[in-house]
Structures are given as C-alpha cells and as structure tokens.
C-alpha cells in the first residue's frame, strides 16, 4: 500500500513542478480544437499556369492510347471498366516505355501510334499482373 501512495505522491509532485509552457503544450496535444483537421505530411501546391499551358490535344491522345492499351490488356489478362482501362493503360504506357528501354528491346514497329499502343499494352499487362500478385 505504501508503494501506491509513493507513486501517487510522486505523480502529483511531478505535475506541480511542470512549467506553464509544458502544461500548455500537453493540453494542445491532448485536446484537438473543433475545426482542426489532420495535417498532411506533404504540402501539395498546384501550378495553375502550368496546367493552363498543357497541350490539350496531346493529353487527349495519351488518354486515348491509354484506353486502347487498357482495353487490349484487359482482353489479354481479364478485367473491365472504362476508367480502369484508362488508368492501367496510362500507367502501363509509362512503365512499358521504361521497361522496354531498360531491357533494350525494340518492337520493330515503324508506325508511331502502333508502337505507343503496343508499348502501353505491354506495360498495362504488367500493371494488371503485379496488381493481382499484390492483392
């Protein structure tokens, strides 16, 4: 019983010796304000001028290539959904280009559009297979 009393009295003594700044910091940590929101670890800023200068036709072409590549990849390995086609195709075009360049593989296609779609399709197939392995 005596050990409990000593522990309680040492806790009270420690509380009484805290400086006002320490108490304020502890109070702020323990009681969030009404309008507080969780802080993000990274601050994201959007450069609206850069967005306005994006070539809209090139962006539309990339989305179209992504749709075609995503559809072909889902036809080869399965899957569905228009947005999923576009997302996997656009990620796949990026990863497919990196993958083929690192391995030094040239597809031998002379048509630019066919080469971009086939590269994106290979990348999209890789994205779908990796997603299935992870899930």
Task: Give domain status of residue 38, yes or no.
Answer: no
pLDDT-above-90 percentage for the chain: 13
Task: Give domain status of residue 37, yes or no.
Answer: no
Task: Give domain status of residue 10, yes or no.
Answer: no
pLDDT recorded at residue 26: 53
DSSP element (H, E) containing 83: helix 82-103
pLDDT-above-70 percentage for the chain: 70
Task: Give domain status of residue 8, yes or no.
Answer: no
Task: Give domain status of residue 92, yes or no.
Answer: yes
User: How many domains does the chain fold into?
Assistant: 1
Label residue 90 exposed, middle or buried (CB < 10 Å: 0-12, 13-18, 19+). Answer: buried
Q: Assign 78 to helix, strand or coil.
A: coil
pLDDT recorded at residue 123: 92
Task: Give domain status of residue 94, yes or no.
Answer: yes
pLDDT recorded at residue 11: 47
pLDDT recorded at residue 121: 92
Q: Assign 34 to helix, strand or coil.
A: coil
CA distance 135 to 133: 6
Nearest CA to 92 out of 72, 119, 111 is that of 119
The CA-atom distances, in angstroms, between 11 and each of 27, 39, 92 are 17, 32, 60
Over residues 48-72, the mean pLDDT reads 87
DSSP 35: T
CA distance 111 to 18: 75
pLDDT in tens, 74-112: 889 887 788 888 888 889 888 888 888 889 888 888 998
CA dihedral angle for residue 123, residue 100, residue 117, residue 67, rounded to 10 degrees: 20
Residue 96: domain span: 56-134
pLDDT above 60: residue 9: no
Task: Give domain status of residue 67, yes or no.
Answer: yes
pLDDT recorded at residue 46: 83
Over residues 14-28, the mean pLDDT reads 53
CA distance 75 to 69: 10
Over residues 38-57, the mean pLDDT reads 80
Task: Give domain status of residue 31, yes or no.
Answer: no
pLDDT above 60: residue 4: no
Over residues 31-46, the mean pLDDT reads 68
């Amino acid at each position: 019983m005596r050990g409990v009393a000593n522990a309680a009295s040492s806790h009270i003594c420690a509380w009484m010796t805290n400086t006002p700044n320490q108490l304020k910091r502890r109070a702020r940590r323990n009681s969030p304000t009404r309008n507080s929101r969780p802080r993000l670890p990274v601050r994201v800023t959007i450069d609206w001028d850069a967005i306005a200068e994006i070539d809209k036709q090139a962006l539309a072409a990339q989305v179209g290539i992504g749709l075609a590549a995503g559809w072909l990849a889902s036809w080869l390995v399965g899957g569905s959904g228009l947005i999923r086609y576009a997302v996997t195709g656009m990620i796949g075009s990026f990863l497919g280009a990196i993958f083929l360049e690192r391995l030094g593989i040239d597809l031998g296609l002379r048509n630019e559009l066919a080469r971009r779609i086939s590269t994106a399709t290979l990348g999209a197939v890789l994205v779908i297979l990796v997603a299935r392995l992870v899930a």
